[in-house]
Structure 1
Amino acid sequence: MTSNSESKELVITREFKAPRDLVFKAWSEAEHLKHWWGPKGFEITVKGLDFRPNGFFHYSMQSPDGGQMWGKFVYREIQPNEKIVWLNCFSDEEGNIVRAPFSDLIPLEIHNEVTFSETNSITTITLRSRPNNATKEEQSFFEGMFESMEQGFGGTFDQLEQYLEERRS
């Protein structure tokens, strides 16, 4: 995994030994997402997935100690096997946007874009994340979290890698 946090957005690149169509499905189907999305060690429950522009992915995350948080994607752009653009936020059980339970300075919405490319059955994804409609304080806080987010996405992408390996066997 490589990352570039020099800019105002978080950029993470990761390679997977899997065909692009399988990696894209892992990002776009509830049956796949529930097995790898989210922080390492958390159990994901999918409440709903409507994978289309202006559709959503609504899910809960349960920590090993029993704590529960809700999250939501609102899809903006989808190019099959090429790109997914979405806004990510914390939510309540009904899907309403809420502040992160652990900080009032995390932006309400994060704009994410993941691109997919394949060479010799190796799929490379590049994730770009930045705050959406954030205050200066939220932007600054977000930038200060790059190292933590790189570690978090590293764990999430480790789970994706393991899941893809299981799917290929």
Structure 2
Amino acid sequence: MSDTPQQAAEFHITRSFDAPRDQVWAAFSDAALLTRWFGPAGFPVRVASLDFRPEGVFHYAIELPGGFAMWGKFRYLEITAPERIVSINSFSDEEGNVTRNPMSESWPLELHNTMTLVEEGGKTILTQRSVAHNATAEEQLAFAAGIDALTAGFGGMFDQLAATLAA
């Protein structure tokens, strides 16, 4: 018997926003807008760099109490405006080097993400799919176990995005 999941776990979330697709797209491609909604509620986000193009990087820090910062980055693989973003994301250090999740040694080093935006009747349907990328069996299991937490985290973050779009 193996510890390896039969099929790799996939995180999937869909959210409808009361905004046109171009406005939702701008919230992902404009650093000033990203700081208004990205990350957990109550924790400011600092954008170290945003190079929004294929092979570009979004490098950021989530500011935590006590002066601690949790760094992360997205490396863009594909950008098809205004409908699709494919990226690899990871935790990082301040210099942008990939690091382990500071809260889980078994969390995958990288996640492969595909986000699509579809406009329907003045609303935008966002679909996000993520899978562990180049992960060990242990990392795959940790990712599968963390899907509920991802759902809650992205749900809260997308609540902030909805409020930003409505402002």
TM-score normalized by the length of structure 1: 0.92
Mark the runs of 5 or more structure 2 residues left unpaired by the alignment.
Answer: 1-6
Supply the distance in 1 between the matched residues of 2:151 and 2:66 (Cα, whole angstroms): 23
Contact 2:31 2:50 in 1 (8 A): yes
Aligned Cα root-mean-square deviation (Å): 1.3
Supply the distance in 2 between the matched residues of 1:27 and 1:139 (Cα, whole angstroms): 27
Partner of 1:42: 43
Partner of 1:94: 95
Partner of 2:125: 124
Query: Residue type matched to 2:155 in 1?
Result: G
1:141-168 alpha-carbon deviations (Å, 9 max, x no partner): 10111111100001100110010001xx
Supply the distance in 1 between the matched residues of 2:17 and 2:126 (Cα, whole angstroms): 8
1:66-111 alpha-carbon deviations (Å, 9 max, x no partner): 4310010000000001100111100000000010111111100011
Question: How big is the shift at 1:39?
Answer: 1.4
Supply the distance in 1 between the matched residues of 2:136 and 2:42 (Cα, whole angstroms): 31
Partner of 2:3: none
Supply the distance in 1 between the matched residues of 2:71 and 2:40 (Cα, whole angstroms): 12
Query: Residue type matched to 1:139 in 2?
Result: Q
Partner of 1:3: none
Partner of 1:83: 84
**What is the count of residue pairs matched by the alignment?**
161
TM-score normalized by the length of structure 2: 0.93
Supply the distance in 2 between the matched residues of 1:79 and 1:114 (Cα, whole angstroms): 10
* Corresponding residue SS for 2:14: strand
Supply the distance in 2 between the matched residues of 1:161 and 1:32 (Cα, whole angstroms): 12
Contact 1:61 1:69 in 2 (8 A): yes
Question: How big is the shift at 1:13?
Answer: 0.2
Contact 2:8 2:131 in 1 (8 A): no
Query: Residue type matched to 1:145 in 2?
Result: G
* Corresponding residue SS for 1:113: strand
Question: How big is the shift at 1:64?
Answer: 4.5
1:25-70 alpha-carbon deviations (Å, 9 max, x no partner): 1011111111111112210000001011000000000125543100
Mark the runs of 5 or more structure 1 residues left unpaired by the alignment.
Answer: 1-5
Supply the distance in 2 between the matched residues of 1:65 and 1:146 (Cα, whole angstroms): 28
Tell which has more relative contact order, 1 or 2 (C-alpha 8 A, sep 6+): 2
Query: Residue type matched to 2:84 in 1?
Result: K
Contact 1:41 1:63 in 2 (8 A): no
Partner of 1:138: 139
